[in-house]
Amino acid sequence: MVSLEKHGPWAVVTGASAGLGEQFARQLAPLGFKLVLVARRAGRLEALAADLSRLHGAQCRVVALDLASEGADAALDEATSALEVGLLVNNAGSGYYGRFLRQDRTRFAAMVRLNCEAVALLAHRFAGRFAARGRGGMVIVASTAAFQGTPHMALYGATKGFDLLLGEALAQEMKGTGVDVVTLCPGATATEFQAAAGGTPHAGADAAAVVRDGLRALGRRPVVVPGVANKLQVVSERLLPRSLVVALGERVLRRFDPGGR
Ligand SMILES: NC(=O)c1ccc[n+]([C@@H]2O[C@H](COP(=O)([O-])OP(=O)(O)OC[C@H]3O[C@@H](n4cnc5c(N)ncnc54)[C@H](OP(=O)(O)O)[C@@H]3O)[C@@H](O)[C@H]2O)c1
């Protein structure tokens, strides 16, 4: 369970301008966390900071940054170096719907940099800071897409598989250091993700509930899949032949790919 004593006083939340990241900030502020809000859209971050200050008296810093750009991890480390950061919510990420060969490969590098490289570099920088002070926590946001190949969003699923394997390993490595690591694997969630990824709009879980599950699992278990249906999906996938799981997944994901029919 997240705690101000163990994981505070400052929390860095990447991707705080929308969706799950905004929810993380909204749930951490009333617990007394001070917040570093990170994303590209500064206006959104400023508005959120003003809201959290008004509602909870939360102290916030805004860092407008493209995490897919070269040196972004160093810039965020530097921007927070004077703060006692105890929690990193490694959440910013983006998707891309479409059959692989129909996709624009000039978009691939930025997605891999954001979903994989930035997650790993920030994990290394901040977990190092936490280990040096003997306490801290990190949430890595992967996806249920991490558990099997995801036709019609093949590269995205691969990036989330990277996040899951990284987070799982770090949770084990950090045992005994005072640093908790949890990898949160949401299924479809109602955020701006689907629109940004070029997907057909479809229903998703409540972002607040997903975030609550993630914060509750910190320090308790290495991986959390929020929601009963998602848990059942992940468990049943372990029992079925992998080729069948991927083929069934394609039938679902094809419906969300506007060019997939
Ligand atoms: N929603 C779902 O169905 C779902 C399911 C499973 C996993 N996830 C994962 O959940 C995480 C959060 O996604 P979400 O659903 O909350 O999506 P979202 O509503 O689209 O929010 C994405 C956040 O990431 C930020 N971001 C995107 N590109 C960035 C960049 N280059 N540099 C810095 N920040 C960037 C966005 O801010 P700016 O645009 O202002 O930069 C925004 O704050 C992602 O890792 C995603 O893979 C989502």
Using CA atoms, how far apart are residues 19 and 91, in angstroms rounded to an integer?
10
Residue 193 C-alpha to ligand 1 middle, in angstroms? 6
For the question of residue 156 being annotated catalytic, the response is yes
Summarize pLDDT for 193-240 with one digit per residue, the tens: 999 999 998 899 999 999 999 999 999 999 999 999 999 999 999 999
Helices 72-79 and 118-133, interaxial angle, to 10°? 30
| Cα–ligand 1 centroid distance for 239 (angstroms) | 31
Q: Residue 261 has what pLDDT?
A: 64
Q: What is the pLDDT of residue 104?
A: 97
Domains of the chain: 4-256 (3.40.50.720)
With a cut of 50, which residues of the chain have pLDDT below it?
A: none
> Residue 53: how many CB atoms within 10 A of its CB?
14
pLDDT at residue number 228 = 97
Dist. CA 50 → ligand 1 center (Å): 21
Residue 177 neighbours by CB under 8 Å, 6+ apart? 130, 131, 134
Residue 239: is it exposed, middle or buried by C-beta count within 10 angstroms (0-12/13-18/19+)? exposed
CA atoms of 105 and 17, how far apart (whole Å): 26
Q: Ligand 1: which residues within 6 Å by Cβ?
A: 15-21, 39-41, 44, 66-68, 91-95, 114, 141, 143, 186, 188-189, 191-193, 196, 204
User: Rounded to whole angstroms, what are the CA distances from 43 to 18, 108, 137?
Assistant: 12, 27, 28
Q: Which of 26, 37, 41, 94, when mutated, tests ligand 1's pocket best, judged by the most ligand atoms within 8 Å of its CB? A: 94
Our mutation pick for probing the ligand 1 site, out of 12, 14, 20, 107, counting the most ligand atoms within 8 A of Cβ, is 20
Known catalytic membership, residue 175: no
